Amino acid sequence: MTSTRHFALIPAAGVGARMGADCPKQYLPLAGKLMMMHVLDTFASSPLIEHTFVVVSAEDGYIRDALASAGHLEKRVSVLFNGGETRHQSVLNGLKAVREQVADDDWILVHDAARPGLTVELLERLVSALREDAVGGLLALPVVDTLKRSDGFGRVAQTVAREALWAAQTPQMFRYALLRHALEQAAAVTDEASAVEALGLRPRLVEGSPRNFKVTLPHDVSLAELHLKGNS
């Protein structure tokens, strides 16, 4: 049976150490609403998404208030308070918690709470590209800069051919059972695709957008606001 249901899983249990703000970065205000709410609103406004699950830490003191002031999301979003020590663990904990609500063949779109620039168009591009795919895949961007590998002492050891290199983004979309199996088998991974690759499979690369970058450092905030206000 080919399932057509798509669920979003948003790991949001990080502390934002590199951002160094007073709160985890996903709760910073950006262009009129919290970073997290941009992400939840995008998934909630796509009819292709059945439901969205957000994984936060057990101690999260922000998500309840954030959702209470967004009544339109009440039926579209559920919160799981079982985030882990790493993003990998948070995603796996989320997958385990939704087991009863999701079939093995359902698609799971894992998306960082720290990528508020995702648009409905981008997420639907991913879904359409993978509709018939046996493996799944991810949004990613072809690398445009010339790449240098450092010698570890501040000098160039080598120029790395950028042809065929892509920078991974999210969402990363795989069927529930495959994704769970991959993450359970994998050693520490920083994205879902690498866990799936470790099984010998080849996730499909679907072109993303620069606006879907991950907000990581303080200077990223103004760039994210430019994209969100400018609708570029």
Contacts to ligand CTP by CB under 6 A: 11-19, 24, 26, 55, 83-87, 90, 112-114, 214, 216
Nearer to ligand CTP, 114 or 178 (CB): 114
Nearest distance from residue 42's CB to ligand CTP, in Å? 14
Q: List, in sequence order, the alpha helices (H) in 7-99.
A: 35-44, 63-68, 87-97
Choose the one of Mg ion, ligand CTP, none that binds residue 136, judging by a C-beta under 5 to 8 angstroms depending on kind: none
Give me Rg for the CA atoms of the chain.
Answer: 18
Q: What angle do CA 158, 159, 165 make, to 5 degrees?
A: 125
Question: What six digits make up the tokens of 207?
Answer: 């072109």
Asked if residue 40 lies in contact with residue 52, where contact means CB atoms within 8 angstroms, the answer is yes
Site mask for Mg ion (CB under 5 A), range 6-45, x = bound:
--------x-------------------------------
Nearer to ligand CTP, 14 or 136 (CB): 14
Q: How far are the Cα atoms of 133, 135, 187 from residue 117, in angstroms, in the given order?
A: 25, 26, 29
Nearer to ligand CTP, 65 or 151 (CB): 65
Nearest distance from residue 96's CB to ligand CTP, in Å? 14
Nearest distance from residue 103's CB to Mg ion, in Å? 30
How far is it, in rounded angstroms, from Cα 128 to Cα 146?
31
Choose the one of ligand CTP, Mg ion, none that binds residue 46, judging by a C-beta under 5 to 8 angstroms depending on kind: none
Contact residues for 225 (Cβ-Cβ < 8 A; gap 6+):
30, 31
Nearer to ligand CTP, 133 or 141 (CB): 141
Interface residues with Mg ion (CB under 5 A) are 14
